[in-house]
Amino acid sequence: MSLSSFSIRLALAGLLCASTAAQAADRPAALKALEEQGLSIVGEFDAPGGLKAWGAYSGNQALAIYNLPDGQHMMVGTMIDAKGEEVRPAGLDELVQPAIAKDMLGKLEKSRWIKDGDDKASRVVYVFTDPNCPYCMQFWQMARPWVESGKVQLRHIMVGILAPSSSLKSAAILAAKDPTKALNEHSLAMLKDRSAGVKGLDSIPSDIEADLTRNEDLMMGWDLRATPAMVWQDEQGRIQMQTGASPDIAERVFGPR
């Protein structure tokens, strides 16, 4: 079972986790079981109804893990009030969102990416890009006003998921003397003719192959299944994700012009 499906099942089903008497570092033993299955535990906070809870996350999804009164069980799920409405604990996002942002941005920063835009840009948008994806090229074109004005820097994380030639083309762009120039030229050519653009390498150097594999693992680990896939930090410091390149998403991804 994948981490993504595990976290969704937790949120929807309200999984009960029985703990043992043993504890480590004052944490209930049930938390260790959840950590072993992929959740990241951040810390404890006060929840509604007099409960204590632990904040956790999977990917960019924040979860509350509630301590039950008997001290022997914990529950992950949705809290409902007297009106039947979902209650999102006020302390959850305050505790967990900074940890999510730090974790995800750290992983993105360490990936192999191609810079497109000013280093002083107020917003950085990471975008998983496949060289055979026409929508990636449309996204590249859509971003031009923000990139050229210095407001946004794109960081293209190259992947090769759409066709057998995708990895070869991504490798060619990454191996270029000026990868930014190579990607820009490829994007312009593809916008005019989808059969145009960069010629793929005959074989991929081992270091680039390893980087492409890590990039794709990062993308799939966050359940991003299509390109372009964008990840950025919004004005409130929260991590946002978006796939696709429809014009209506421009201001959400890039901010106001």
- What is the pLDDT, as a whole number, of residue 114? 97
Give me the chain's average pLDDT, please: 86
Pairing of the two strands 73-76 and 16-18: antiparallel
CA distances, 197 to each of 39, 159, 208, 215 (Å): 41, 16, 20, 22
Give the pLDDT confidence of 195-209 residue by residue, as tens digits: 899 999 999 999 999
- Rg of the chain over CA atoms, in angstroms? 21
Distance, CA of 117 to CA of 153 (rounded, Å): 4
How would you classify residue 167: left for phi > 0, otherwise alpha for psi between -120 and 50, otherwise beta? alpha
| Class of the CATH domain delimited by 3-104 | alpha beta
- What is the pLDDT, as a whole number, of residue 215? 96
What sign does the dihedral 111-113-116-120 (CA atoms) show? positive
Give the pLDDT confidence of 75-96 residue by residue, as tens digits: 887 888 888 988 888 888 889 8
- What is the pLDDT, as a whole number, of residue 26? 65
- What is the pLDDT, as a whole number, of residue 13? 38
pLDDT of 212 over the 60 cut:
yes
Query: Which residue type does 191 have?
Result: L
Mean pLDDT computed over 179-191:
96
pLDDT of 127 over the 50 cut:
yes
To the nearest 10°, the Cα dihedral for 92, 98, 101, 105? -160
User: 14 or 183: whose pLDDT is higher?
Assistant: 183
Give the pLDDT confidence of 18-50 residue by residue, as tens digits: 333 333 456 777 788 888 888 889 988 888 888
CB 237 within 8 A of CB 172: no
Report the topology of domain 112-254.
Glutaredoxin (3.40.30)
DSSP alpha helices (H): ranges in the chain?
3-13, 29-36, 90-110, 134-148, 164-175, 179-192, 206-221, 250-254
Domain spans of the chain?
3-104, 112-254
* Best CA proximity match to 117, nearest among 147, 77, 161: 147
Distance, CA of 25 to CA of 158 (rounded, Å): 41
* Best CA proximity match to 94, nearest among 238, 241, 252, 234: 238
Same fold, 3-104 and 112-254: no
- Please enumerate in sequence order all residues whose Cβ is within 8 A of that of 36, keeping only pairs 6 or more positions apart, or say none: none
- What is the pLDDT, as a whole number, of residue 176? 96
pLDDT of 16 over the 60 cut:
no
